[in-house]
Amino acid sequence: MLALPGRGDPFDRHVLSCALVVAMEDVEQAQAPCLHASLGLHADSLSRLLDQCFPGLEPLEPGVTREGDTGEGAIEEADLRCLLLEHASHQGEVTTWLAHIVARRALKPGHLWQGLGLDERSELSRLMTRHFATLAQQNIHNMRWKKFFYRQLCGREGIPICKSPVCGDCPDYRACFVCDE
């Protein structure tokens, strides 16, 4: 388990460390203009996160700035962030930061746990259960998290997304649900 030295819950620091690493890779590969944009955080939030969770962290790479806004995300990013925050298990900055980070990293291609830099899908499930418990409890069939989020968002808008009236009968069932990755 990767975790930079610092303060706070070790698992939360692990998740934040992983997200920081993949966000820095995005910046280095010119896939994001700056670290906080890759994380979906405002510059001042990133500074607080670093100061609070990783005090004394060496200066970031020269091309990684803490200035500016979060950049443009997809249209559904704000809705996903709101969904997560509505189900927040804890009040506080760490949960808020994680809602922003999860919403931004969900826009990346591939599995969300990989987009967050986590070692395995179970860590994402643990994160969801820890910080967004009432939402995690609704994922009773272990649907892949991104698909689950979009299903929740589409359901709010009254948009049916399943090709069959019962998920088990849908030809895309294996694309949505997993035993564990």
Across the chain, mean pLDDT equals: 83
Q: What number is the average pLDDT over the span 51-70?
A: 64
117-168 pLDDT, tens digit each:
999 999 999 999 999 999 999 999 888 999 899 888 888 877 666 544 445 5
Q: Is the pLDDT of residue 63 over 50?
A: no
* Contact (Cβ atoms closer than 8 angstroms) between residue 24 and residue 4: no
pLDDT tens sequence across 64-78:
455 555 666 777 899
CB atoms within 10 A of CB 104: 27
| Cα(82)–Cα(133) distance, integer angstroms | 15
Contact 146, 116 (CB under 8 A): no
Dump the DSSP string for 114-179.
Answer: HHTT-SSHHHHHHHHHHHSHHHHTT-TT-B-HHHHHHHHHHHHTT----SSSSGGG-TTHHHHB-S
Question: What separation in angstroms does the CA of 38 have from each of 86, 113, 164?
Answer: 23, 15, 36
